[in-house]
Homo-oligomer: A and B are copies of this chain.
């Protein structure tokens, strides 16, 4: 259970790495939105494998097919089902894994929980599942575009290499100009080298993705258990390999004093109210305050190493494992569009929920 995300705008996803296809159903898509198929496909291309030497060599066209809920180019308010075929499975690569547990993968826990597992490529626990999120996120972005809300993520850290400054110090559009998705060209190159080095060693490395939501109106978020940051944290921690979430000043801010971190309210230029600073990360009391919402997500190093590791088999006996599969040495570059997608789902869902707060 729990393959549905969201409250009003809801994605239900399905599919295994080595099954026929992956996909999902989006329920609650607002009616009357024009469907820009090129945009959706392009979002999917941003996460697709094989896009650079830094990612897995699995080749997938990842063409999305939307089969319902759209009439004459516009959404009808009915559920939108979609699927993406799996064409490049090398299931035989996994035959040797049938009886052993890959370290730090979901093999063992799925087997414990369900008493059965699809050993081919991680089955349902494969990152291939995130395709559904990107498609749903792309549809959410189309709706958010009408509302003037944008979501942009980028690679902020790979291993020890960290992009200095905040999102405001960089031209984020530059993130899409290099395979690492870091907006600073020089830093991106160092990150790329580190990832290449890891690949050469059959090892992997972690990283951090930062994300900013701009143009979000005040009022989104549903206290006390649907606070906007809680929804974002939930969304991000469902992504494979994510290990942490922080927003605003986050963990670093715990060392600060209230007098440093408080965001003073000031009049804005239009006679409205704004804040002098935005240490809060655009959310106060669980509700957006109209400032930029920014947060960071930590990703662990990929668990699949292209080197021999010790493990046990189904009977609990010692065994060794050396994957032949095709894997990313660092999940971060391809996770950038996934982080954006999940953020878009949360923001649109909360936008719709917020419409029900008053009766007119």
Contacts and interface: CB of A to CB of B under 8 A. Distances in A.
Contacts of A3: 25, 27, 78-79, 223-225
Contact of A103 (B27, B265, B290, B305): B265
Interface residues of A, number: 158
A96 to B, nearest CB: 16
Given A206-B254, A243-B247, A243-B249, A31 B358 contact: yes
A222 to B, nearest CB: 4
Contact of A112 (B5, B71, B219, B318): B219
A357 B257 contact: no
Interface string A317-341: 1100000000000000000000000
A32 B358 contact: yes
Given A305-B258, A357-B113, A244 B243 contact: no
A245 B248 contact: no
Given A109-B285, A286-B106, A237 B244 contact: no
B359 A143 contact: yes
A204 B257 contact: yes
B267 A312 contact: yes
Interface string A201-242: 001111110000000001101111111011111111110001
A43 interface: no
Most buried by B among A83, A223, A275: A223
In the assembly, how many copies of this chain are there?
4
A351 interface: yes
A19 B68 contact: yes
Interface string A280-315: 110111111110000000111111110101111000
A180 B107 CA distance: 41
Interface stretch (A54-62, A115-123, A164-172, A181-189): A115-123
A46 interface: no
A178 to B, nearest CB: 19
Contact of A234 (B234, B259, B285, B356): B234
Contact of A76 (B67, B123, B255, B356): B123
Given A160-B255, A243-B253, 16 more contacts: A2-B226, A12-B25, A13-B225, A15-B68, A15-B79, A15-B81, A21-B68, A31-B115, A67-B83, A104-B279, A206-B256, A224-B238, A243-B249, A244-B250, A245-B246, A262-B309
